Amino acid sequence: MSRRVLIVEDDDETREFLVKGFTEEGFAVESAADGREGLFHATDGGFDAVVLDRMLPELDGLSLIKSIRAAGLKTPVIMLTAMSAVDERVKGLRAGADDYLVKPFSFQELLARIEALLRRPKDTQEAATLSCRDLEMDLLRRRVTRSGRDITLTPREFQILEFFLRRKNRVVTRTMLLEGVWDYHFDPNTNIVDVHISKLRRQIDEGSETPLIETVRGAGYMISDG
């Protein structure tokens, strides 16, 4: 299976250069020209790495990576920037970047850094599975089952369910979901949370007598053991 990389870069020439380079190296490549589009892709698909420009329209690189990390995603991210000052590199690393490369750069060096990030061992302390009652989520295989029945979820639905399972037996508010799963700049009056929860419920409750995601009136939602 090809390794998947996301390129978020607003300069057309640089973006096309990176897409061509990684494609020739055997990567499956997706790209975005601004921060909002980049965040949508980053949180909606399973990428092995993200190459992220520091200065982006719509949503800057620092805000984008903070949103990625707030969503619980540990995808390796390398930031590209024309800012060479040490304090700028520190800001990027503290925001959640794994590496930093100053423009102009060599593609071979960028490739070598990406490959080094991909060789890093996964966090062995983190559980490979999450569960609640008769539902199990395999984080490595990206597989969800309930009472042995395979459940097919979109990347977004998988992310929402993982968000709930990591906060099992605790109330999850709509604001928490907006900030943790989507970009926090979304209008808090949007019904996007309720629409996705409704779809997720249909998927995981099919054929089961007991609903898994409870509505906590006036507060939000909760997934619990009993």
By residue range, what is the domain housing residue 182? 129-223
* Inter-CA distances, 128 with 10, 68, 143, Å: 36, 20, 11
**How confident is the model at residue 166, as a pLDDT?**
86
What domain count does the chain have?
2
The tokens for 135 are 């539902």
121-162: per-residue pLDDT in tens?
Answer: 655 444 578 899 999 998 878 899 999 899 999 888 998 999
**How confident is the model at residue 83, as a pLDDT?**
76
Same domain as 183, residue 145? yes
Here the CATH number for the domain that contains residue 219 is: 1.10.10.10
Domain boundary among 92, 119, 146: 119
Mean pLDDT by 10 residues, the chain (226 residues): 87 94 93 92 84 92 88 87 75 85 89 88 61 89 90 90 89 83 63 90 89 90 86
Same domain as 200, residue 111? no
**How confident is the model at residue 193, as a pLDDT?**
87
Residue 124 lies in a domain: no
**How confident is the model at residue 73, as a pLDDT?**
82
**How confident is the model at residue 37, as a pLDDT?**
92
Same domain as 107, residue 143? no
CA 64, CA 58: separation in Å to the nearest integer? 10
